[in-house]
Structure 1
């Protein structure tokens, strides 16, 4: 079975380039999938998944929660990071070691050395859930990459250009895949097509995606 230590450079056969500084690491998270799923359950027990409202008043089809020093939230006042869960007033759950270690090693494997995320947005997709094209612009540090981990049902990741109208690549993501993008690719538009109901053997009819960032 592959281990994290095997992914030491982008020359590895499991690494697919999708941009000058953007990569898919196929199966990178698989050795730790059980620990990751257990950690997600622990996070959910402290900060429940919820469907938030966008500034435009639309309910997101994707349910979310957070862990780490900062958590991403949205409501009619706008998109932002907070130190506390707005539903409980308590700090977001501490980022599990298995999360931060995976994020750091995935970043290093693609040339982003020293990545130390302080925010992790956890999204839960159900059949029909989608994520429209957007840029991640709420972070203070655009020099740090974004590391995104997929568990559960497969999805089609849309990876576009620096304007919303640019053509998007359709990239299949499966259980255990990790996407890393930064540098010249950091502000590219991206999203997820509506999820098909093709249940996963462990997680059933859901996809869990968690995305690491340097927010503060």
Structure 2
């Protein structure tokens, strides 16, 4: 049986003395879109950062394509085919869109197929129009598109997306939804953190609610309607 793209078993993670994740277990199958839901501070972003090795101490098991990554440095984990898009995006303001896109190194894994610049610009026509514009001239939505496009250029086949729809205009959010649908159809595996439930609901195959660093609820998309009452309680502020 083929290994999951990502598999976490009893994962604990810390920032200094602060114990944030308390035994998270989840798996994301290849080609699946899984959404982590939860209140702010629940541990969703820390889950993504723990997968990338960007927290302090990590315990438990984190496997990427069947390879144990606990103890691995971040750059080695990335070369297993992971691309992380943090909430702050990390666009270099002094570089043009094109230079930002060409900056990351290409991965060299059996699964990695870097997306061509032509394919990226076809997926993100806004970026094609702004390819010579510096990062400071891009709108928030264009910066978000560039942050995702930069990952696709590396050849990563697993995308970790943190709140990519936050604070963006509805037309941009719709474009990002189309992007995720396209990437899923192309076989990408996507683990995303989202506060915007309306954005995530039609896209995800599976949902996990995180609360206080633990899995509070998990279910496939086909059970969404029957879980709505529980979701409303868990996600209410």
- Same fold per superposition (TM over 0.5): no
Tell me which of the two structures has the higher relative contact order, counting C-alpha pairs closer than 8 angstroms and 6 or more residues apart: 2
TM-score by length of 2: 0.26
Q: Which has the larger radius of gyration?
A: 2
Structure that is richer in helix per residue: 2
- The structure with the greater share of residues assigned to strand is 1
